[in-house]
Amino acid sequence: MIMIFGIPGPLLFGQLLLGLINGAFYAMLSLGLAVIFGMLNIINFAHGALFMMGAFAAWMLLNYFDIGYFPALILAPLLVGAFGIFLEKTIISRLYKLDHLYGLLLTFGLSLVIEGLFRNGYGSSGMPYRIPSLLQGATDLGFMFMPNYRGWVVLAAFVVCTATWLIIEKTSLGATLRAATENAPLVQAFGVNVPRLITLTYGGGIALAAFAGVLAAPIYSVNPNMGSNFINTVFAVVVIGGMGSILGSIVTGFGLGVIEGLTKVFYPQASATVVFVVMVIILLTRPRGLFGKAA
């Protein structure tokens, strides 16, 4: 066994992989948040709850409709995204004229309602969701032991994040989106239906969260608290990466996941706080975040 810094090779690489996986979730969730914040200027506190809904949607599809994992990867984001669009049309759109803080408060309230309802309906101990048989088992890579499903998660997350980044930065749709963020009335004057664009963007951000939820379902129990467990760390990630920066959220998400993983090897008790410590350091040295625009 190779020993690095006194830690066995399989252990270190195993932790790095796990860090990447965690990072994948951070990246996807903060990406959704960044997209929504960039376009709508709303801090979507309900993101964690909608992530949880994605996992529940996958679970419900399996248990009530016998629809398996791979179709659920598409269906669940669509369903929850549609729910997100419904939310946007009825509730969120009323916030645009108000101070940003009200957006935070409203979505916070929304997260309480969603989580409370699910907790009432489904209890807190979580429900099992099996890893699809195609992805079960593990591969022995020699220097480490990798469960196939976890490898798949990193791959899928990476693909989705890259695709999103490409769409926003490199396509004309993305350009229109970015323009609408800068100056909505002007873009509307060009004939673009800006409100619909905004609605679809919100739905898209939510769908990203739901997709992450489906990916998470086999790894964690599907339980109503899974969103709130993530959301606070994800906010720190967003602050570190720079609010509203797509690239920032992706890079920081993966990066912080790796840092957290390494902390777990060397000093496990601090693994929950290390993200916040990094955030404090960033705040002291570069307040706008690693990739953010100056305030």
How far is it, in rounded angstroms, from Cα 129 to Cα 149? 13
Per CB under 8 A, which of residues 89..108 are in contact with other proteins?
91, 94-95, 98, 100-106, 108
In sequence order, the 6+-apart residues with CB closer than 8 A to the CB of 59 are: 127, 129, 217, 222
From the list 238, 234, 244, 224, the residue with the least C-alpha distance to 54 is 224
- Scan residues 50-69 and list those touching other proteins (CB under 8 A): none
Helix (H, G, I), strand (E, B) or coil at 146: strand
| Per CB under 8 A, 295 contacts other proteins | yes
Q: Is 34 a residue that touches other proteins (CB under 8 A)?
A: no
Task: Give residue for tokens 């090897």.
Answer: 265
Residue from 22, 164, 245, 249 binding other proteins (CB under 8 A): 22
**In this chain, which of 44, 111, 181, 252 binds other proteins, going by CB under 8 A?**
111
- Whether residue 237 contacts residue 54, with contact meaning beta carbons closer than 8 Å, is answered with no
By CB under 8 A, tell whether 187 contacts other proteins.
Answer: no
Residue 178 has a CB neighbour count (10 Å cut-off) of: 15
Site membership for other proteins, residue 128 (CB under 8 A) = yes
Residue 134 binding other proteins, by CB under 8 A: no
Q: According to the binding rule CB under 8 A, does residue 238 interact with other proteins?
A: yes
Minimum CB distance to other proteins, residue 239 (Å): 6
Q: Does 131 bind other proteins (CB under 8 A)?
A: yes
b/e per residue 132-159 (b: at least 16 CB within 10 A):
beebeeeeeeeebebbebbbbbbebbbe
Binding to other proteins (CB under 8 A) within 203-222 occurs at 219-221
- Residue from 55, 150, 187, 212 touching other proteins (CB under 8 A): that is 150
Q: How far is the CB of 116 from other proteins (least distance, A)?
A: 4
